[in-house]
Structure 1
């Protein structure tokens, strides 16, 4: 089971299972005894079955549009965003859209090719938990979550850029 990093740098076990998209003609296979993250569009197709279940969350791939869950984001306990490659920044935009435009208030998790030096930037976009790539040391995560003492840009966590914060 991978370790989960919280936004304050704490480590805990990740009990959630990311259910891969089934091949064409196959059914979605949920684990029996663990909470599951299903592809967002499949959650929407099965909304009547999955709605209000605390053990079923959703995950977005980097090419998915978060608009598909507009108005329903707070019906799921956990939303994960897959970063398929560390150079793919679309997940940052998905995180900000979920928080700022769609008002998601639950746990927003970064999964996939997540590296230590990305953590503070993901946190600034609204991510609250992180699962590092398997070859990375999660015990070092706390120092990377607040690596920079000041940030220049406005983001989900700070609505004013540094020059405006200094002027006030």
Structure 2
């Protein structure tokens, strides 16, 4: 796996995420993987102790993780890193960033150049988002 920086921050969390159900029992570590069937509000008491939240995309057409990321940023005020993982396409790069994702976990054979090109595709947006443009 290689990490692709969407945020321009260049310092990405290297911790290995623990599944949320497992982490919730022990609360050991600062990185979790959140499945799509968990409501973001369940994280509210723990957000200050988490540095990385990985949101899963089981298939590229399942966009629930976009909503989770936006909720974490906009409604919960989460400041740590949000990483996308799973089946993603370079075409989704701008949408990921605008919803609050900082990074993407890419497969080793992914073409990073495709992801970089997509981030530079548009320079102006009509809608506000959960995060400021980079």
When normalised by structure 1's length, the TM-score is 0.69
- Structure 1 unaligned residues grouped into runs of 5+: 17-34, 160-168
5+ long unaligned stretches in structure 2: none
Question: Could you tell me how far apart the structure 2 residues matched to 1:113 and 1:11 are?
Answer: 23
Matched residue pairs, number? 133
Query: Matched residue of 1:70: which SS?
Result: helix
Which residue is 1:165 aligned to? none
Greater relative contact order, per chain length (Cα 8 Å cut-off, separation 6+): 2
**Which of the two has greater helix per residue?**
2
- Which structure has the bigger radius of gyration? 1
**Match of residue 154 from structure 1:** 128
Larger mean Cα displacement after TM superposition, 141-150 or 86-95? 141-150
Matches within 5 A, 1:1-168: 2-8=1-7, 16=14, 35-47=15-27, 50=28, 53=29, 56-133=30-107, 135-158=109-132
Question: Deviation digits for residues 104-130 of structure 1, max 9, x if unmatched?
Answer: 111110000121000110100000011
Preserved contact between residue 84 and residue 104 of structure 2 (Cα < 8 Å): yes
Runs of 4+ in 1 over 6 A off after TM superposition: 9-12
